[in-house]
Amino acid sequence: QAATAGYIYNLDEGSVYIEHIPWIDFNDYNLPKPIFINLVRDPVERMISWYYYVRNSYRNAIFYRNNPLAPLKPTAWFKKSYNDCVRTGDPECQYVPLAVRDVEGNFKRQSIFFCGHDQDCLPFNSPLAVQIAKRRVETEYAVVGTWEETNITLTVLEHYIPRYFARAKMIFHMYQKSLQNRNRNNRKPHVDADVRAMVRRNFTHEYDFYYFCKQRLYMQYIALKRTELERMNFP
């Protein structure tokens, strides 16, 4: 954490640092706090996407090229559907509440990116971890958006962090077709409703956090629109 915080602090003014990393308290290292932003996504949709993302042939070709001595996954692993994985009780698709270790790494703890590096942040679907994450969002993050609400997210970013996101919505729509194909996994077979429901039952607190972030985003958006209406003298 100290090395990462120091690295970010020493970047040129105006730099943007993007990484999959839990929140770091820069005050612990007597460093000025950067502007924190993040995005959230429906927890079950994240798991489905990750499941098929790690089975992507292109991704695995790169991995094995860089790690030629790594053991190869069996063909059955690549071909197994998410429906079957959940229904057969495969350990990879068992999201055990309060677990701290995974059979396969899956990033199921969305809240950990906001909770931070404390030990209390590790248990999956932990009510304590989620409450800490909520407090971090309220006190540390300028904007937490979601690509499920693209226009709202970009509007809030434009107004709350204009130095970096001025005209973001206009630019996004200009290049929407090319941007939508970035980092997209087109191999995402249908997942049955009962399977989604089975998985969702183990993500209760993660959903609480997800909805909390969306509500905060909506409140920021409504505040902006109210200010615009008042400026235009609309009742």
Residues carrying an active site annotation? 20
Structure tokens of 164? 């970096």
List Cβ neighbours of 142 (8 Å cut-off, separation of 6 or more): 35, 36, 37, 160, 161
List Cβ neighbours of 185 (8 Å cut-off, separation of 6 or more): 49, 52, 53, 56
What does residue 143 show for φ and ψ, rounded to 5 degrees?
Answer: -145, 135
Q: How far apart are CA 160 and CA 168, in angstroms?
A: 12
Q: Among candidates 42, 78, 84, which has minimal Cα distance to 195?
A: 84
